[in-house]
Chain A
Amino acid sequence: MISQNKKTAYFSFIIFSRLLLGGMFMVSGMEKLLYPPEEFIVVLKSYHLLPEPLLRPFALFFPWIEVLFGTFLVIGLFYKISLLMVGGLLLLFTLAIGSTLVRGIPLEDCGCFKSLGFKESGGTAVFRNIILLLFWVNLYFYPDHRWTVDRWLKEKT
């Protein structure tokens, strides 16, 4: 009985982690898509990482990747690929923000959820991402494919 309860609790935790990680990317990408790309370009510029000609293409393309793989992770479609993509993006963001901090570039706002009215400093964003990476590690190393579209489709075919 206890073991069953534990299993249910763990499965709820898995679902929560999926919703948290995927949902965060969905929201972050969607707000970038709904607002003019210039807003994201300004943020990217402040990171001093990308060359000028790449800023616009990156600002236009990148949010789609965020939303798409965030949604895939939430619904459990291409689960493994989505999980890898989301983890990769999370790591990329953490390294990008971390590198600006190391280089001593003042990052007033990481631009993660800018248009939602949140202003998040570089340090807070790195801390938040490290916590999220822990959720990701759990999802990756203890996979559970229940409640995924992948499994539903597998059972149908």
Chain B
Amino acid sequence: MKKDKSSSQKKEKENKSKARKTRNLFNRIFMGLLVLFFIIGVVYSIKSIRPVNLLESGNHPFKGNSGAKVIVSEFSDFQCPACKGAEVNMKKLLADYPDKIKLVFYHYPLSANHPWAMLAAEASECANDQGQFWPLHDLLYDRQEIWSKDSAPSKLFKGYAAELGIKAEPFNTCLDQGKKKSVIAEDQGQGDALQIQSTPTIFINQQRIIGGNSYPDLKQAVESEINLRS
């Protein structure tokens, strides 16, 4: 009788301990889920503040078909060697899809690493006033290694402009007075909102491609956007 009582007490104790362990486990799982939901909430509330629409390219310099449904937005830096490398692929894309894409250029000079990138961007925008953005754009990339090493390249930029037949007086005034700083800052603001970390960063409609050095990747993204919209 006594043995029975002690064994049932033991069993009861075991059951209580088991129940306590189960309750504890549930509490921990519940707490874990709370933490998980809190993290999800924080991540999504921060990520949702990104109102940038690259499909409306405004007055940015562009090449290709202005009415194309596939917009290739390139955030680039004239002093960045990788951007120079990506230019070959951009030209190839335009040659392969002349009517199907619109290539839009956005400035994203990484001044911390490239001291003359901002000035080069300004020069290109000054040339844009005379409809000469793309010729100077090409020349700046072609001669990147020359002007990048110069201690004051604005003289070189003025020389390039003259070489392209750009009227010297308005171009020089524009460059010397830094008239295009706000245009560049606006592009940079858009790039920041898009959380650009490195250049070049290319958006094919909304698809982000970093680096742009793989032509198959770019081509595949363009093809998929064309198929999606046809």
Cβ A42 vs Cβ B32 within 8 A: no
The CB with the most chain B CB atoms within 10 A, among A30, A35, A38, A150, is that of: A38
Cβ B31 vs Cβ A68 within 8 A: no
Give the CA-CA distance A154 to B20 in the complex, in Å: 9
Q: Note all chain B residues with C-beta closer than 8 A to A114.
A: 197
Q: Mark B34-54, 1 if CB is under 8 A from A, else 0.
A: 011001000100110000000
Given contacts A115-B197, A153-B24, contact A38 B208 (CB under 8 A): yes
B195 contacts chain A at the CB level, 8 A cutoff: yes
Q: Note all chain A residues with C-beta closer than 8 A to B11.
A: none
Q: Mark B5-48, 1 if CB is under 8 A from A, else 0.
A: 00000000000000010011001100110011001000100110
Size class of the contact patch on chain A: 20 to 34
Q: Note all chain B residues with C-beta closer than 8 A to A6.
A: none
Give, as a whole number of angstroms, the nearest-CB distance from B123 to chain A.
Answer: 28
The closest CB in chain B to the CB of A68 belongs to: B36
A67 contacts chain B at the CB level, 8 A cutoff: yes
Give the CA-CA distance A41 to B208 in the complex, in Å: 11
Q: Note all chain B residues with C-beta closer than 8 A to A150.
A: 28
Q: Mark A114-157, 1 if CB is under 8 A from B, else 0.
A: 11000000000000000000000000000000000110011011
Cβ A71 vs Cβ B39 within 8 A: yes
Q: Note all chain A residues with C-beta closer than 8 A to B46.
A: 34
Among the stretches A72-80, A83-91, A99-107, the one at the interface with B is A72-80
Q: Note all chain A residues with C-beta closer than 8 A to B43.
A: 30, 33-34
Cβ A153 vs Cβ B36 within 8 A: no
Cβ B23 vs Cβ A157 within 8 A: yes
Give, as a whole number of angstroms, the nearest-CB distance from B164 to chain A.
Answer: 35
Cβ B195 vs Cβ A36 within 8 A: yes
Q: Note all chain A residues with C-beta closer than 8 A to B208.
A: 36, 38
Give the CA-CA distance A77 to B198 in the complex, in Å: 37
Give the CA-CA distance A127 to B23 in the complex, in Å: 42
Give, as a whole number of angstroms, the nearest-CB distance from B213 to chain A.
Answer: 11
Cβ-defined partner of B35 (8 Å) among A30, A75, A153, A154: A75
Give, as a whole number of angstroms, the nearest-CB distance from B91 to chain A.
Answer: 23
Q: Mark A12-27, 1 if CB is under 8 A from B, else 0.
A: 0000000000000000
The closest CB in chain B to the CB of A30 belongs to: B43
Given contacts A35-B197, A42-B210, A114-B197, contact A68 B28 (CB under 8 A): no
Cβ A154 vs Cβ B24 within 8 A: yes
Cβ B39 vs Cβ A77 within 8 A: no
Cβ B195 vs Cβ A35 within 8 A: yes
Give the CA-CA distance A74 to B20 in the complex, in Å: 25
**30 A-B interface contacts by CB (under 8 A):** A30-B43, A33-B43, A33-B47, A34-B46, A34-B47, A34-B195, A35-B195, A35-B197, A38-B208, A38-B210, A39-B197, A41-B210, A42-B210, A64-B39, A67-B39, A68-B36, A68-B39, A71-B39, A75-B35, A77-B32, A77-B35, A78-B32, A114-B197, A115-B195, A149-B28, A150-B28, A153-B31, A156-B27, A157-B23, A157-B24
Closest 3 pairs between A and B when the two form their complex, measured CB to CB: A38-B208, A153-B27, A157-B24
Binding site for A on B (CB under 8 A): 20, 23-24, 27-28, 31-32, 35-36, 39, 43, 46-47, 195, 197-198, 208-211
